[in-house]
Every structure is written in structure tokens, then in C-alpha cells.
Structure 1
Amino acid sequence: MTLKIRHSIINKTQSLLLVLSQLILINFTFANSLTEQQVIQQAERLFNGRVVTLTPNTDKNIFIIRLLTDKAKIILIEADAVSGNMQRKNFEPTLPAKPTQNK
């Protein structure tokens, strides 16, 4: 076997090992993540409301949740996909109350 072929095989093997190690790390990270359904249930329980939208952010490994509370307020929540920690990010304007009918 020539020296060029041997170096080529070594380089390809090293590249393959690097890719495999990165895939294992990514798989380990997402394998320990909460499912969307688990995040929804936890948010609805902790913040007394209903989830309107759930947006995963895979770059930061978080979920962005928009939740309608029992008091008709929409709040924004950031949930860590691995630990499940949730933090209210801001308050949005309340929904308008239903107009009362004068009799």
C-alpha cells in the first residue's frame, strides 16, 4: 500500500470518527429533552392557562411558549428543553373584555 493511500484512509477514518462523535453528542442532548407534550402540560399546570403556540428553538435547546391565562392574558414563556425550567419572559396586552349589553 502506498503512503498516499494510507494517509487518505487515515484522514477519512478520522473524519468519520469526528462526525460520529458529533452525532452521538447531538443524539444524547435530544434524547434527554422533554417532549412537546410534556412541555405543554407543565406550562399549563404552572401558569394556569392554555398553550396557544409552542415554537422549538433547536439552536438554544429551548421552547418558546405563548400561553393564554385564566385571566385572559397572553404571556410569553421560555422553557428549557432539557431541564424543564420555565421562565415568564414578558406580558402582552390583555384580550378585550366582552361588551356588556345594556337593557
Structure 2
Amino acid sequence: MRIRGPGSRRTSSHSTAAIRAWRSWHNDAIARPVDRGARGYAHVAFNVGSRERVDELTAQLVADGYEKISGPRVTGDGYYESCILDAEGNTVEITG
């Protein structure tokens, strides 16, 4: 599974930057085993700039085979977000 980069699909600078940041974080995280009983971060979040981009990126990631675990939706604290699981089971929050 992969996230399409700017060469494979028309993307805005916000989404391209979010994808680059996610890939950088994801590549660093691959070497670590996932331990659900461990303490540490609960998830990583990226703001892609708008509700439309949240919808677009969520749809793109689902089409690429990632599991959507929530949203897109407005949360109780007023954020518009969706959450997906990356290949290692980490929660990735996309906000707009």
C-alpha cells in the first residue's frame, strides 16, 4: 500500500506537504514494532487545510487500501476529521 504522490494525481500544496510529512513519519515508525500496551503517542494528526481536502485525502487513502476507522465527521470539540490506520496499525488523523 502507498499514498500517491503529486506526480500520480493532482494535489494541492497542502495535501502534498501533508503526504510528505506523513511519509517521513511513517518511514521512521516502520522499524519499531507496534505494542498496543505501550505508553506513548496515541496518534499522529495532519491538518490539510479544508474539509474538502479531508474528504479527498480520506477517499484516496481508502482507495489505496487503508482502513478508515472514523469520519469524515465533525468532532465534539468542533474539528472536522477522519482517522485511518496505517500499515502498522497506527492511527493517523486527518483534519481540515
Q: Highest CA radius of gyration, 1 or 2?
A: 1
Higher relative contact order, chain-length normalized (CA < 8 Å, sep 6+):
2
* TM-score, normalized by the shorter chain, greater than 0.5: no
Structure having the higher helix fraction is 1
Structure having the higher strand fraction is 1
TM-score (norm. length: structure 1) = 0.29
